[in-house]
Amino acid sequence: MNTTKMADLVDYGFIGLLGLMSVVALWLILERYFYYRHVDLRSFKEKEELEIALGENLTMIASIGANAPFIGLLGTVMGIMVTFVTIGQSGLVETKDIMVGLALALKTTAGGILVAIPVVWFYNMLGRKVEILVARWEMMKRRGDI
């Protein structure tokens, strides 16, 4: 396999994976957001039952937010390896070639961070919403509304 194909595979593979992760995270975030807006707290008789229902998909959202930078970093490492292989095979060592290769390799790290920041932010927002809904349920339970 020539180095151009390897570089394209690294680029499209890791950027594609990060894109897929961001789409999955967005879908899960929207699903949880709309569920929380329309959840009927009175339908839950036990607190544990409510917490289980509210906690669905949050682990997956957190996992995407936590792992996106690592996947981006892995893409960067692979890109740097491809750059060094290309330079080693060509036999020519020009500063321009090294810098361009390294700069292009860093785009997957930037992509991973761009995926992680909003996903972690939304995860925290949803986690706070869960706390509020549980507190409302407990208040309703004490008042006898449930």
Q: Which domain holds residue 99?
A: 3-143
pTM > 0.85: yes or no: yes
Structure tokens at 119: 């996903």
Residue owning tokens 């570089």: 7
Question: How far is the C-alpha of 34 from the C-alpha of 39, rounded, in Å?
Answer: 8
Coil, helix or strand for 91? coil
Contact 21, 118 (CB under 8 A): no
Q: Tens of pLDDT along the chain (146 residues)?
A: 676 787 778 888 999 999 999 999 999 999 999 999 999 999 999 999 999 999 999 999 999 999 999 999 999 999 888 888 888 887 767 777 778 778 888 999 999 999 999 999 999 999 999 999 999 999 999 999 88
Number of domains making up the chain: 1
